[in-house]
Amino acid sequence: MSEFWQGTLEKVDDWRYRIPVTYKAGMKVPGILYADETLLKDIVRDKAPEQVANVACLPGIVRHSLAMPDIHWGYGFCIGGVAATDPEAGGVISPGGVGYDINCGVRLMRSEITLAEIKRRIEPLMNRLFTGIPAGVGSKGDIRLSAREERRLFVEGARWAVNKGFGSGEDLECTEAGGALDDADPSQASDRAYERGARQAGTLGSGNHFLEVQVVDEIYDEDIAREFRIFKDQVTVMIHSGSRGFGYQVCDDYVKSMVRAMAKYNIQLSDKQLACAPIKSPEGAAYLGAMRCAANYAWANRQCLMHRTREAFEAVLGASWQSLGLLLVYDVAHNIAKFETYTVDGRRKKLCVHRKGATRAFGPGNPELPARFQRTGQPVIIPGDMGSHSFLLAGTVKAETETFGSTCHGAGRVLSRSASIRACRGRHIDRELLETKGIIVRATGRSTLAEEAPEAYKDVINVVNVVHNAGISKRIARMRPLGVVKG
């Protein structure tokens, strides 16, 4: 068998490629890949386009099955996959279209601190962040929740954290969905999920999760950057985490139940990892209720992590977080299913939009955005690997018409975790990053650093250039890392 994907790709333009409906029996819509010729070489080697074609077979799928330029192989859906299904046309909800880390997402904090002001304090700051924020596999924090308090968190999301003193009301305004999805149903989460969630609020986790102190080194759009309160040589902080063991357990529970639901509703798909149920079914409603709990858990988690980050800055710099200007720019989900309204065949329809390793990118004037982003569009946050740049972009109206308001979510892997570990055997990634780039890395174990080595990822600059040139998000600023905390 060839190591490359052998399917049919039709070039639409310099930034898009189409998988025609004739490629595979059962495809209801074409697949669309956002990529350039350079990125395409890695994409076909990964064979993730086959997953794009598989998703195109889902009942009730609308318009096309999408993949962003950070596409790589995932569970059911590719990472970087987007699909919308119509509940009124038998549309389904698929846990594989959301992922195991429900609402894995990222938030960006800005500050009034400049690089010159923090340069000599970056090492003690990273040490304080590393000791003050629980990280690593199975890490537990000091926020202990009773089952009753967990249920409140599942319903209220980031608002729960703010009410507990972990932040301010302004943080909620700068969080997607205000930091909570409506209609979360705590009764649909299993006892095991409750058990796993009880001690993990306010913890970073492991794998590709991180906390990164950065500096803005490039401004592409001065006007919008000013609106986002971003300036050259400014210190920023990026936090990437999700719903921890609670979200994993929710996905695991419902993947199994969805296999039975497919038999019940006579849904036949070539990939069982796409197990699904009609949105308008008891099984679909149950998953949505539990998934929303996990999404809200993740927003509360990132809110608590931001509070701990503010505390570390206060301790090291000797000033309040308010006087340091440590404000939230925005928080976006990467793994989620949400109901949003789009025009399809000339009609406005409420669709279930699956984003699996993809970022919402609403443009100027979208009624779901708060007043402060009506002129600019939604801030879009795209992290790179721990040795490269990250980006701040803005959503566009074109994204709403072409991609169900979606764009990429990061660099995207080119090496699996096991392959990256093999390639890095005997190396000290933290030492390399310090010696070659001056980046201070703190991690709980060497294996995580090997899994997340820079060469395991695509060039984030190429990925961002594709979505910018395709018009589905707009470059605003670029940040480079100063220090990184990994699980």
Residue 349 has phi, psi (to 5 degrees) of -135, 140
| CA-to-CA separations, 296 to 115, 145, 178, 302, 322, in angstroms, rounded | 34, 15, 10, 10, 25
389 included as an active-site residue: no
Q: How many residues does the chain have?
A: 487
Question: Among 110, 99, 102, which residue's Cα sits nearest to residue 171?
Answer: 110
β-strands 347-356, 440-443 pairing? unpaired
β-strands 347-356, 235-241 pairing? unpaired
| CA-to-CA separations, 230 to 24, 143, 217, 442, in angstroms, rounded | 47, 32, 11, 26
- Distance between CA 274 and CA 258 in Å, rounded? 9
Given the structure tokens 């060039």, which residue do they identify?
A: 459
- Distance between CA 358 and CA 395 in Å, rounded? 13
In one letter, which amino acid is 198?
A
Given the structure tokens 């000290």, which residue do they identify?
A: 428
β-strands 65-72, 79-85 pairing? antiparallel
- The answer to whether 7 touches 53, Cβ cutoff 8 Å, is yes
DSSP letters along 273-303, please?
GG--EETTSHHHHHHHHHHHHHHHHHHHHHH
* Residues contacting 139, CB < 8 A, separation 6+: 200, 203, 204, 205, 206, 444, 487
> 307, 409, 428, 468: which one is catalytic?
409
Q: Tell me how many degrees the CA angle 431-436-442 measures, rounded to the nearest 5.
A: 35
- Distance between CA 395 and CA 383 in Å, rounded? 16
- Residue 187: Cβ-neighbour burial (10 angstroms; 0-12, 13-18, 19+): exposed
Q: Which helix (H) or strand (E) holds 29?
A: none
As annotated, the active-site residues are: 409
